[in-house]
Amino acid sequence: MTSPPASLLLLLLPALAAAADVVSLDGARWTVRNANGSVRVPATVPGGVYTDLRAAGVLSSDFFFGHNDELYRWVSYDNWTYELTFEVDESLLRRRHAQVVLHGADTVAEVWLNGQRLGGVENMFVRYALAATGALRAGANRLAVNFTAAPVEARRRYEAYRLAHGYAVPPECVPDDYHGECHANHLRKMQASFSWDWGPAFPSEGLWKSVALEAFDAAVVRDVIVRFAEPAGEQGASLHVRAFLELGPGAAPLEGTLAATLQLPQGPARASAQVQLSPDARGHAVADLTVTGFDEPPRWWPNGEGEQTLLPLTVSFTSGGESSEVTRRIAYRTIELVQDPVTETPEFREHLNVSENDINYGSTEKGLTFYFRVNGRPIFAKGSNWIPVNVLPELGGDPAHVRYLLESARDTHTNMVRVWGGGVYESDLFYELADEMGILIWQDLMFACSMYPADEAFLALVQEEVEQQVRRLQAHASVALWAGNNENEGALVDNWYGTGANFQQYKSDYVNLYANTIRPLVLELDPTRDYVVSSPSNGLETDKEGYVSTNPGNALYGDVHYYDYVADGWNADTYRRPRFASEYGFQSMPALATLRSAVANASELAVESELMASRNHHPDGYSEMALLAAKRLPLPDDWRSPQRFDAFIYLTQIYQAVATQTQTEHYRRLRSQLLASGEGLCMGALYWQLNDLWQAPTWASIDSAGRWKPLQYLAGEFFAPQMASAYVDTAHRVHVWALNDRPEPVDGVVLQARPGRWDALPEAGWQNVSDVFTLAAAGSQHVLTADVAPWLASLRGCEAAAERCFVLLRLLAVADAVPLGPERAVLPVAPRLAQGLEPADIQVASVSGPGADGALEVALRTDRPAPFVWLEAGAWEGRFSRNAFLLADGAASVRFLPRAGAAAPSAAQLRAALTVTSVAAQAVTRTAAGGEQRGRTNVYGAPN
């Protein structure tokens, strides 16, 4: 056997070296007790006091059942101590350094080992490594983590800050409708755990992430950040790696070998170097290495743009026969937030695919663009906002549910999700899945809807948090942008919390936190991405104005958040024309089956029940939902009555879905429009919000049980990469646009229409209503504008007043007769005003299957067209291939796919559970497919 080359031998050494000792302290060996010892129960780590008390039976029912959010509040007012006895082998004590590592502690606590204080923790977003060498002993060891009640500590810090600095940090408290707690902004804790307008207050305590004992002689590799360089001449591509290591407090400089292996499709690329670690006072050190000379790997693309190629990278440090390593999956891609001046030059028009016909000049100041460019390609961001999966952080990382939510987003053409700033920096799994699925992440830092302290102690807490989180997340291909906070700039400038009387002080604090402390840290650690001080903000224009803009909502710059609960959301003319819409939405109810899991008896399932009133934290939420639904849908005058509750649920969901569709398509049509005001060129639409965390009316498209609302189904249509987009304006004109997110044009495309009447099944087929045109690449283009009444009258299949008709639209590639995108329904008038729109007799003709993929086939038949046909499967978990659709023909087929990991129904079981709901002009009708209620039943309105 021949000897390997010296360089190869060097690379093999890390694999042969011993590793640091890592002893997991996770599991069910812990106990937790309250301050006076009256409650003491077994505990599990990772976990939290609420989940431990529930597991022990101290809390007798589900956290989100009834009024438990308030009845269980006593838990948050007590101080809880977590304790563990664990064994240590004497050999571990011979290591140079030992430390207890708390990867996540919620939130303020002291840590004791064998009666010696190791230190304090006060930031749930920080990993604490507490030196334990002097306290650790062979044999049995006793670890205790003594937590302080979060609401009590928040109040104490609020008062202490006010006394020390002469002013309070607002808000004074959350609105009464939230049924929450005050001063979350004084703790580095999930801000929503003190309640929000979509969630309850559960200000927990506990060890929400893993706890471990680490012992080593050399160093531990904790994080890596990476940066690719494209090929230069014949040198090939390269990868720069920066490793962050921990040596322990007081450690001396250390020499060792830093090595990196990048797994490429053509084989591994390797590099190693001798490095000298020079630890700082905390015992932290940095080392750099570059992997060079490899062929350019395949690029990673967002969902819908290409493949998501991920490359495993292993980085190790070896010294004195001891090795530590980490492995990450990284990607070869570039991403830019483009904020260029909007000009009138042909080059600018060509760059953004803006046609001459879509430009209306007249403004001297046109602002800046605001869009993401990935691998040199402009990307229209399509997606939603992500709130915590659970208000109890230890439950928020549930792998199955996180995967389900992200898959639901991916499958409806999402390419970006905004992680909102009032929750948590999500789990490693979340970002790994986003990498796999091609979902870009707009990453807020965890500050939301508040002013924040800016004294030295608070800024030091934030600095450590930002350093750790940016280092942890930087290597993920999915992370697209860092944003300093959620809505705090707008709150300051628009005086949400009475800051106007002391504006300069609060402005100074704001700038110190987000611009002077966070911004330089982020940009130093991650030069590959941009940072905006707030979301929304005016981007570079805000920076130019000293990081606080006089008009944070200027549509010519940055991103906007837009909500209007009075204007008709089905009217596209009511919406703003921004560069990027990062929040917008409407409330709706969750499914009735979801709400049933929160109530003790059916009498609570009514808008005016005490429980339902307490569940809607948005002030006047029910009245606003009713006001909006009544603009377009047949909402009964007695909508508050228990007999109308299920109809109210359905109507609010349909209104939310169509309003969000209307707003989203408005933004997509603006992609290639530049108006005289300078507005337009919109390149992002992220609706609020994707997910839910309890059974309540919220803005979510997927409720807390995982049930898709109509909005989630419609998102699969209005985010389609190619489609026709139509709207009817207040002058009764129909406007049709063609949308294309693909980077290639499509020649030979025609717009087709298929009209129908509400009082009969349609007989007319598809008709061409445009000349053949080329669908432009990566843009929006106007196809048709016409007065609705004469246009419909000119088409075969209507021959009646517009109030009696509907029309389906689609784009068709003529050469191969292939539709481009989904069929789109246009309703010339609101359903409640439609003529001939009587209750349809929709029946489930059959249910068959399951097929090889587990899906069941549901065959429907109807005697007349019906809008917003809504299928529900009772308690069965899963989703339909289409839903909330216009059933235009006499028959249709829909597939039901059971949720992975859930019980799957047989065909007979699904049929027995199925209900089908639809809208008529003056009625909501529901069909029960099986059981005693088989046949049509009216929720209200038309006679049986």
Strand partners, 756: 806
* Burial classification of residue 516, based on how many CB atoms lie within 10 Å of its CB (0-12 exposed, 13-18 middle, 19 or more buried): middle
Q: Point out the residues of the chain with pLDDT beneath 70.
A: 1-17, 344-364, 930-944
CATH number of 21-212: 2.60.120.260
Q: What is the CA radius of gyration of the chain?
A: 29
Which of 911, 927, 929 lies closest to 937, judged by CA?
927
SS (H, E, C) 161-195: HHHHHCCCCCCCCCCHHHCCCCCHHHCECCHHHEE
**pLDDT tens digits for range 502-557:** 999 999 999 999 999 999 999 999 999 999 999 999 999 999 999 999 999 999 99
Which of 863, 446, 286, 917 lies closest to 650, judged by CA?
917
CA angle in degrees (0–180, nearest 5) for 138-142-146:
150
CA angle in degrees (0–180, nearest 5) for 670-701-587:
85
Helix (H) or strand (E) holding 346: helix 346-351
pLDDT for 184 equals 99
- Which pair of tokens denotes residue 916? 């089908």
- Which pair of tokens denotes residue 801? 């007043």
Beta strand residue intervals within 688-745, DSSP E: 722-728, 733-740
- Which pair of tokens denotes residue 503? 């504006």
CA distance 669 to 208: 44
Which of 97, 126, 109, 102 lies closest to 25, judged by CA?
102
Cis peptide before 171 (omega within 30 of 0): yes
pLDDT for 927 equals 87
CB 624 within 8 A of CB 587: yes
Residues 6+ apart with CB under 8 A from 161: 168, 169, 186, 453, 455
- Which pair of tokens denotes residue 480? 């697209």
CB 669 within 8 A of CB 780: yes
pLDDT for 12 equals 35
| Strands laid side by side in the 311-319 sheet | 18-19, 322-330, 311-319, 254-264, 267-277
Residues 6+ apart with CB under 8 A from 190: 106, 124, 388, 391, 393, 422, 423, 424, 446
**Terminus-to-terminus CA distance in the chain, angstroms?**
89
- Which pair of tokens denotes residue 124? 């749930």
Residue type present at position 166: G
Whether 6-16+220-334 and 722-833 share one fold: the answer is yes
The label of the residue with tokens 């049980």 reads: 705
CA distance 513 to 460: 10
CA distance 749 to 721: 15
Residues 6+ apart with CB under 8 A from 815: 747, 748
Whether residue 356 lies in the annotated active site: no
CB 689 within 8 A of CB 698: yes
CA distance 563 to 141: 55
pLDDT for 13 equals 36
pLDDT for 863 equals 95
Q: Which CATH class is domain 843-940?
A: mainly beta
pTM to 2 decimal places: 0.95
Residue type present at position 463: Q
Is domain 722-833 given the CATH code 3.90.25.10 in the classification?
Answer: no
Backbone angles phi, psi at 610, to 5 degrees: -60, -40
CA distance 192 to 203: 9
In the chain, what are the domain boundaries? 6-16+220-334, 21-212, 722-833, 843-940
Which of 912, 911, 864 lies closest to 890, judged by CA?
864
Pick the catalytic residue from 487, 489, 838, 872: 487
- Which pair of tokens denotes residue 299? 């690029």
Q: Structurally, what CATH architecture does the domain formed by 6-16+220-334 represent?
A: Sandwich (2.60)
Q: Is 677 helix (H, G, I), strand (E, B) or coil?
A: coil
CB atoms within 10 A of CB 630: 17
CB 581 within 8 A of CB 370: no
The label of the residue with tokens 């235009």 reads: 888
pLDDT for 350 equals 56
DSSP label of 136: -
Phi/psi-derived region of residue 858, left when phi > 0, alpha when psi is between -120 and 50, beta in every other case: beta
Residues 6+ apart with CB under 8 A from 639: 607, 626, 647, 648
pLDDT for 14 equals 38
The label of the residue with tokens 């942890």 reads: 472
Whether residue 159 lies in the annotated active site: no
Pick the catalytic residue from 214, 426, 583, 679: 583
**pLDDT tens digits for range 742-779:** 999 999 999 999 999 999 998 889 999 999 999 999 99
Q: Is 491 helix (H, G, I), strand (E, B) or coil?
A: helix
